[in-house]
Amino acid sequence: MKILVTGFDPFAGEKINPAIEAVKRLPDKIADAEVVKLEIPTIFNKCAQIVKKAIEQENPDYVLNVGQAGGRACLTPERIAININDGSIPDNAGYQPLGEAIHEDGAAAYFTQLPIKAEVKAIRDAGIPAMVSDTAGTYVCNHIFYQVQYLREKEFPTLKAGFIHIPFLPEQVVRRPTMPSMSLDNIVKGLTAAIGAIVERDGQGDIVAIEGHTH
């Protein structure tokens, strides 16, 4: 089994992005699955082109995109991607879409194929806070989540894919003292646990009950 895990480069003037830093530190094998790591740009459309090329080259069973969600205090596996690009800030190429469809012929939304409740349970069992999220936003994180789902529908029907948001790192909130953060070690630990749950529940669906509210 093979899982492609992507992380974004820094954006919005930040010098670091915990997404790619955590992805780079993941084990090369988790629960007998090969982990392929890929850095992608925080740029609408271009990130999807790079991921599509990696899917064609690697033929993964799963794609897991990882992104930073400043303001969240825990790891949040995402349930749904929506068909809209709406940037509160420009991307790294200076592009700022305002309420545009990602694909005119795409569904209004796609649900993940990943066992998000099992992911949350595994992350919590590893001692890291987590909860299911029902909104991936409208920026490049939601964009790549949606784009991979669109690719799955149109070209890669056996692929299973999803997204996890992660918090800021402590060094990113030095001047944001009320903003939550999480250590890189804990983010890596949580992502490793989530990937383990994805692999272990392969083909079994997501029937795990978890306590707590969704984000």
Q: Is there a domain that residue 88 lies in?
A: yes
pLDDT digit string, tens, across residues 131-181: 999 999 999 999 999 999 999 999 999 999 999 999 999 999 999 989 999
Determine which one of 78, 119, 143, 215 is catalytic.
Answer: 78
Q: Number of folded domains in the chain? A: 1
What the block records as the tokens of 126 is 């590893």
In a domain, 147, yes or no: yes
Q: Is 19 part of any domain?
A: yes
HSE-CB of 189 using CA atoms within 13 angstroms: 14
Global pTM?
A: 0.95
| Alpha carbon 142 to its chain's center | 9
CA–CA separation, 60 and 1 (whole Å): 7
User: Is 80 exceeded by the pLDDT of residue 60?
Assistant: yes
Residue corresponding to tokens 């990113």? 172
For residue 73, being part of any structural domain is answered with yes
Amino acid letter, 156:
F
Tell me whether residue 14 is in a domain. Answer: yes
Q: Is residue 205 part of a domain?
A: no
Residue type for 11, please? Answer: F
Average pLDDT for the chain = 96
Q: Is residue 31 part of a domain?
A: yes
Q: Is 74 known to be catalytic?
A: no
CATH number at 102 reads 3.40.630.20
How many angstroms separate the CA atoms of 150 and 110, rounded? 8
Q: Is residue 148 part of a domain?
A: yes
- Of 74, 143, 165, 215, which is the active-site residue? 165
78 as an active site residue: the answer is: yes
Question: What is the extent of the structural domain holding 65?
Answer: 2-200
Q: Which of 47, 74, 119, 141 is catalytic?
A: 141
Question: pLDDT digit string (tens) for 81-126?
Answer: 999 999 999 999 999 999 999 999 999 999 999 999 999 999 999 9
